[in-house]
Structure 1
Amino acid sequence: MKKINSIIIIALIILSCNGVNNIENNIKTKDINYTKEDLLGKWKMDVFTYKYLLKNEKIDSVYLLLNEDNSFTLNNSKDLFNGKLDNIPTKGTWKIIENKNNKLFELTFNNKSNQSGINIYRKGKEYQIWYFLSDPNTGERIRFLKQQ
């Protein structure tokens, strides 16, 4: 009986985390050294995020444009970070906040609301912008990839 209970407990733990850590194994998530210049440009939302938010992999239109003057354009509203796509363009400013342990990336929308909790990760030489809508193990995340 103890063996069956142990198996059930292990199965529940695996199922509660979906058995997957949705951060790729070969992506660097800590101690990322990036500069403003590394982030400038157009970032497009990845296919997985479209599948998660809309259950439709054929849509490919959400982007975040980070400008030299620290302004940004998101061709979707700030509600994107609540898991909602509504195609209402929004603008604001962006900044990198440095503290002694790491760097933080933050957006401030024109209505003065802030979006923090945005992560900059790196895969090889390419940076990625990640935002988790909930527990990272659930796969509920938004990811932007830089366009060349």
Structure 2
Amino acid sequence: MSPVSLLLNVIWVVLGGAWMAFGWLIASVVMAITIIGIPWARAAFNIAAYTLFPFGFTAVSRDAYTGQEDIGTGPLGVIGNIIWLVLAGWWLALGHVVTAVLLAVTIIGIPFAWAHLKLAGIALWPIGKIIVPAN
């Protein structure tokens, strides 16, 4: 991780990253408690780590990254994303949007607000995504 990414991640944790990562962890635990939610729990846990330290990483479609379609990027992934959206995605996205609006009020918070908006999109449709280092 570059020094700039490290600095941005430290500021990020203070300006809303920690509480949103905690929200993702709560979603992960709730999904893991239910037997049928275990596949979503893993995805939520991975995105919780990305939410805690988003600078220097990016989320991309898994089939575009690997060049192969799998169960999470096909029709079952769409069904999984719809279930996720109803159960947890909408409130995680709402948390990211509210935090983004609050951060966008200040000039220094605008880059962090933008990152929260990107995470809101991932919160709505996370299945089939992979977190990779940014180039």
Q: Same fold (TM over 0.5)?
A: no
Q: Give the alignment's TM-score, normalised by structure 2.
A: 0.27
TM-score, length-scaled by structure 1? 0.26
Q: Which has the higher strand share?
A: 1
